[in-house]
DNA sequence: CTGAAAGCGCTTACAG
DNA sequence: CTGAAAGCGCTTACAG
């Protein structure tokens, strides 16, 4: 079938050992031999069979990423950007990225099991971490390397990146307040999601510092899609205690909120304020443009991949924690001052 | 380290052959033995080592997908949906999806080479097919299975899905014309992209049928991102022969067009008409909502995966071609009739 | 219905 | 600096 190391060795009348060592760049092969091997291998189109190498080395050089199963038919730009970031970093080290998407909680579990048990991957990158996250417990218990975007509250140590937006929430809310809005609502994600929990906490604490009232009826959970945001906003905008500032857990949700606002005849930026989180490219292009707390999604994914590569390579991590501070991007959706 | 087939065999005092055959569901193992094996394997957390199986079977049960390198920092929801569709279908057959993203043309080539030569994947799914596409030529020449969303014009046969929107373009343009717009522009993608070529062709032919003028100055190329659409629309809207109907090659581009229109003070749906293509979830939520030609992205990806699975399985394909007719979704961006 | 053995294509201690 | 050989964990013809 295709070229093997044996073919290359035969052609040069040397042992397969020498071919293997030469290609892997060890210095126990004569320079001249190495040159010859490298050229011949290239000529013959030889590339080491990955399955054989994996089996022998007991390493797959592959990282797994499973898109969480929060919503069925999603199309979140966040994930494309995240995948691209991981891919960039991994490719550079000749690692590959195995991707799948969970269609149910059950299916998600079985995917992690399958990939871990059958040595399909050397490690996992997690996101959408939950407060109590079985993935964290499971992977830790089985000694499978992983990193996460967010830290679960299971008391388990692992390397992660986290977003610290405490200060930015304060600035955001001060800004919105200064534009005359005062009845704040939080349109969040699933209640056990770390992103939800933390952002809500910062939201509350910022309200307090600004002397604003916190109304727990004005905290809603969504599936973090634009449809979720749309429905939540409808509920809020039709309620008797209608809020006039809607802070969303992500940009996607905010898109839906804008739509609901237009439908109900509210002028966004004037009658009500709306903000998002993530700083996706398209949030520039909505009408009006959305004020958001922007994070460099692809770069975060890159850094997580880098951490995981070091771990699977048994290198010492200089940092177990990466902290990202979002950038507050003020745009028209929160008023004109 | 982890459980192997040998451990299971030893525990039951049977040969590894029997374990292997029992787990693979062959009927040459006694029912009682099979039951016992299956239970024990589950108990012990045994899963066949993928590398060993791959090496032996000379099959990887993995499919490759490389996100094309058209634009650098993209975040196209299209791809998340496409990946999810492939993932669904592949997981169901216990296949996995290897994903990477090309950062340059060079890098893209080397990724295809690497995965193909080193037997990382059994086949590829291509999208964003170009008129003359080296991927098609390369994979065909090397006998590597693949399917594509779109058919290249290299005269090479391969199984593909294609979109036929001839009729829908006519209906779209008739609809826009009936709302009083007459100066049509086409905001496309890269000139050699099949999506661009075909949609432009349908656009032209529909204009002709409607007795409308085609102005080649009103055909622009973009990178198919919202930024690309924004820039193209600025150019068009500031030109002396300003068009009043902007048809976009995809929804993402149309987002940018909406933004440019608002910026220039044009009322979309009244002063100018705008339409997209794909029917992404968010196109419902723009202001105004975008008229679009909707295709079931995830389902198409599923079908492509299904075709490829059959090929790698040496089954006969009943269809070499899948034809998708988009659905015209008329919304406010093209007027109010 | 079950077993002992070969072999997939590599990598890597062990000799020389 | 180079070679012959073992072995990673499976699958599968070949015997019985």
Chain segment B161-198, per-residue pLDDT in tens: 999 999 999 999 999 999 999 999 999 999 999 999 99
State pLDDT tens for residues A73-118: 556 788 888 999 999 999 889 899 999 988 888 888 888 988 998 9
| CA pair distance B224, B262, nearest whole angstrom | 20
pLDDT-derived band at B71 (thresholds 50, 70, 90) equals low
Query: What is this structure's pTM?
Result: 0.92
* Bases of chain D within 7 A of a CB of the protein: 1-5, 7-13
Instruction: Enumerate helices (H) and strands (E) in chain A, giving the number of each.
Output: 12, 12
Q: Which residues on A lie below 8 Å from B114 (Cβ)?
A: 47, 94
Among the partner-chain residues B80, B262, B284, the one whose CB lies closest to the CB of A80 is B80
User: Residue B242's pLDDT band (boundaries 50, 70, 90)?
Assistant: very high
Per CB-CB distance under 8 Å, the chain B contacts of A76 are: 77, 80
Residue-wise pLDDT tens digits, A204-253: 999 999 999 999 999 999 999 999 999 999 999 999 999 999 999 999 99
Which chain A residues contact residue B103 at CB under 8 A?
88, 91
Average pLDDT over residues B77-105: 90
The pLDDT tens digits of the residues spanning B106-145 come to 888 888 988 998 999 999 999 999 999 999 999 999 899 9
Which residue lies nearest D9, CA-to-C1' measured? B52
CA–C1' distance B53–D7 (Å)?
16
At B80 the pLDDT is 87
Backbone angles phi, psi at A300, to 5 degrees: -60, -45
The alpha carbon of residue A156 is apart from the nearest alpha carbon of chain B, in Å, by 23
- Cβ atoms of residues B145 and B184 within 8 Å: no
Binned at pLDDT 50, 70 and 90, residue A29 comes out as confident
Q: Nearest Cα to A61, choosing from A9, A104, A122?
A: A122
Q: Which of A74, A87, A297 sits opposite B100 (nearest CB)?
A: A87
Q: Contact at 8 Å (CB) between A240 and A268? A: no
How far is the C-alpha of B274 from the C-alpha of B289, rounded, in Å?
10
A42 close contact with B: CB closer than 8 A:
no
Cβ pair B226:A284 closer than 8 A: yes
Question: Is pLDDT above 60 for B103?
Answer: yes
| Cβ proximity of B286 and A286 under 8 Å | yes
pLDDT for res A27: 73
Q: Over 60: is that where the pLDDT of B328 sits? A: yes
The dihedrals phi and psi of A218, each to the nearest 5 degrees, come to: -100, 25
Single out the residue of A187, A174, A194, A192 nearest to residue A277, CA to CA: A187
Mean local confidence (pLDDT), B245-255: 96
Say yes or no to pLDDT of B313 above 90. no
Asked if the model's pLDDT at residue A317 lies above 60, the reply is yes
Let me know if B51 is exposed, middle or buried by CB neighbors in 10 A (0-12, 13-18, 19+). Answer: buried
| Distance of B55 CA from C4 C1′ (whole Å) | 21
**Mean per-residue pLDDT of chain A:** 92
**Residue A171 contacts B where some CB pair is shorter than 8 Å:** no
Cβ-based burial of A252 (10 A; exposed 0-12, middle 13-18, buried ≥19): buried
Nearest residue in chain B measured CA to CA from A69: B84
Kindly list the residues from chain B whose CB atom is less than 8 angstroms away from the CB atom of residue A261.
none
Q: Over range B252-256, report the average pLDDT.
A: 95
Residue reference for tokens 């899609």: A225
Lookup result for tokens 């990178």 = B223
Whether residue A143 lies within 8 A of chain B, CB to CB, comes out as no
pLDDT at B246 over 90: yes
Distance B17 CA to C3 C1' (A): 8
Do the chains contact at A282 and B255, CB–CB below 8 Å? yes
Please report the sign of the dihedral spanned by the C-alpha atoms of residue A184, residue A190, residue A195, residue A197: positive
Question: Min CA distance, A210 vs chain B (Å)?
Answer: 32
Residue B107 pLDDT: 86
């Amino acid at each position: 079938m295709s070229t093997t190391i044996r073919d290359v060795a035969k052609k040069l009348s040397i042992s397969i050992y020498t071919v293997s060592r030469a290609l892997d760049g060890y210095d126990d092969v004569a320079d001249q031999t190495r040159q010859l091997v490298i050229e011949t291998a290239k000529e013959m189109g030889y590339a080491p069979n990955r399955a054989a190498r994996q089996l022998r080395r007991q390493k797959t050089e592959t990282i797994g990423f499973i898109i969480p199963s929060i919503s069925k038919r999603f199309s979140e730009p966040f994930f494309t950007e995240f995948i691209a970031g991981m891919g960039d970093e991994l490719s550079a080290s000749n690692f590959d990225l195995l991707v799948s998407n969970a269609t149910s909680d059950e299916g998600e579990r079985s995917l992690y099991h399958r990939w871990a048990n059958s040595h399909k991957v050397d490690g996992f990158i997690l996101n959408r971490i939950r407060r109590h996250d079985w993935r964290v417990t499971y992977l830790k218990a089985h000694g499978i390397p992983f990193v996460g975007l967010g830290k679960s509250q299971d008391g388990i140590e692992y390397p992660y990146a986290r977003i610290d937006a405490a200060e930015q929430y304060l600035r955001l809310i001060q800004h919105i307040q200064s534009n005359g809005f005062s009845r704040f609502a939080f349109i969040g994600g699933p209640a056990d999601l770390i992103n939800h929990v933390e952002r809500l906490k910062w939201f509350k604490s910022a309200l307090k510092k600004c002397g604003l009232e916190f109304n727990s009826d004005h905290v809603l959970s969504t599936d973090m899609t634009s449809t979720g945001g749309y429905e939540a906003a409808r509920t809020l905008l039709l309620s008797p205690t209608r809020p006039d500032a809607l802070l969303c857990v992500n940009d996607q949700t905010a898109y839906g909120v804008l739509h609901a606002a237009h439908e109900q005849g509210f002028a966004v930026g004037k009658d009500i304020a709306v903000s998002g989180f993530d700083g996706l490219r398209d949030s520039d292009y909505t009408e009006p443009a959305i004020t958001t707390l922007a994070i460099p999604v692809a770069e975060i994914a890159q850094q997580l991949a880098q951490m995981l590569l070091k771990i699977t390579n048994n290198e010492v991590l200089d940092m177990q924690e990466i902290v990202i501070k979002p950038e507050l991007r003020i745009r028209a959706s929160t008023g004109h001052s």
